[in-house]
Amino acid sequence: MTTGDQSKKRKQRYLPQNRPAKKKGAYPLKPGVQGFFISCDGGREHQASQEAINVIDSFFEELVHGTGLKVNSSGMLENPVNKKVTFSYSDDEDENEEDGEGDNGDEEGNKGDGDKTELSEGGNDQVNEKEVASEVKQLAETKTAKEEEDEVNDQNGVEEPPRKKTCTEEASETTKVRENTEKSIDKLIDAELKELGDKSKRRFMKLDPGCNGIAFIQMKRRDGDPSPKDIVQHGLTSAAATKKHMSRFILRLVPIEVSCYPSEEEISRAIKPLVEQYFPVETDNPRKFAVLYGARANTGVDRMKIINTVAKSVPAPHKVDLSNPEMSIVVEIVKTVCLIGVVEKYKELAKYNLRQLTSTK
């Protein structure tokens, strides 16, 4: 046996035998997806993506189910955060204390009267027999009256009040109710865990862009779900109003609605539905817009050519205004993928920097 055959056998022992190798890590970023572009500190991509999923999910729940604080169109809270809280039982306690003091005084007075009567009765050595006989007659009359009432109730078909349940019966019923609620909660948790385990049913899922300092969260939209733009717009306006710190690793959070290859033809073809949605031709209110360009790990694309193709795709009533735009078209090129999104109030919301937006400095 030669040395080459022996080395092959050794290698075959350590290779998986007819088993497909399992892929580790997130799926790579490819054209044709929509979601959220996230910038973070270098080396913190995994933590930022996990944090972004939680933050975006909370924004989605607030927008869909109406939880959280409501924000006006001007960016102000409808209901103020700081409120003067008055407890209803604070005044009642004072009244109860006063009533209790009055009742104690009455009880003391009654006790004094009782002592007096006992002393007066103790003073008489002989008991009046006539008074005792009259009390016995009164008791007999009341008994007969009660018996007559019971007979009348029986004739009319009036039932007796239900028997009170014992403590053991009540305890057994409460335990049964608790067991049923625990079973239903366990079923709901199991169903939710199954949905989380199945990647096809996840609404938000991280993708690997292959660059340092950025992350991407894909959104699989279902019927009736809001767009990534609406989710981010709602979340950042509420964050700006409340100044609630919610990001440790996330820097910028930009919605992405279209992704394609970074060529002029592909970009002009992919941006058409966004232009029709946000920049219609027939409109009474033409909008001012600007194009924001960024590129990572790609030096073969001409910056001005991409900006000009995006600007030319917007129809005539709308104009370019770099100083004070109403809407901004974000173009981010990552390796061989071009990500496009439309945002509002880009400068007012701190360039969609979540950490800077919630800082109190």
Q: Looking at residue 187, what is its pLDDT?
A: 76
pLDDT given at position 83: 47
Asked if the structure places residue 154 within a domain, the reply is no
Residue-by-residue DSSP string for 179-223: HHHHHHHHHHHHHHHHHHH-GGG-SEEEEE-SSTTEEEEEE---T
Round to whole Å and give the CA distance between 58 and 63.
Answer: 9
* 224 lies in some domain: yes
- Return the structure tokens found at 328: 């901004």
In-domain check, residue 169:
no
Is the residue at 39 inside a domain? yes
The whole-number pLDDT of residue 66 equals 80
Average pLDDT for runs of 10 along the chain of length 361: 58 52 72 95 93 94 76 51 48 51 50 44 50 68 64 54 60 68 74 64 88 94 91 94 90 96 95 94 93 94 95 93 94 96 94 91 68
Residue type, 10: R
On whether residue 202 sits in a domain, the answer given is yes
Is 206 within a domain? yes
Question: Could you tell me the pTM of the whole model?
Answer: 0.62
The whole-number pLDDT of residue 84 equals: 47
What CATH number does residue 231 fall under?
A: 3.30.2130.30
- Closest CA relative to residue 209, chosen from 82, 31, 22, 330: 31
User: What's the alpha-carbon Rg for the chain, to the nearest Å?
Assistant: 39
Instruction: Give a yes or no: residue 93 inside a domain.
Output: no
Domain that holds residue 307: 34-64+196-358
How confident is the model at residue 116, as a pLDDT? Answer: 42
Number of domains within the chain: 1
| 131 belongs to a structural domain | no
Cβ atoms of 357 and 349 within 8 Å: the answer is yes
CA separation, residue 260 to residues 98, 265, 271, 335, 339 (Å): 77, 10, 9, 11, 7
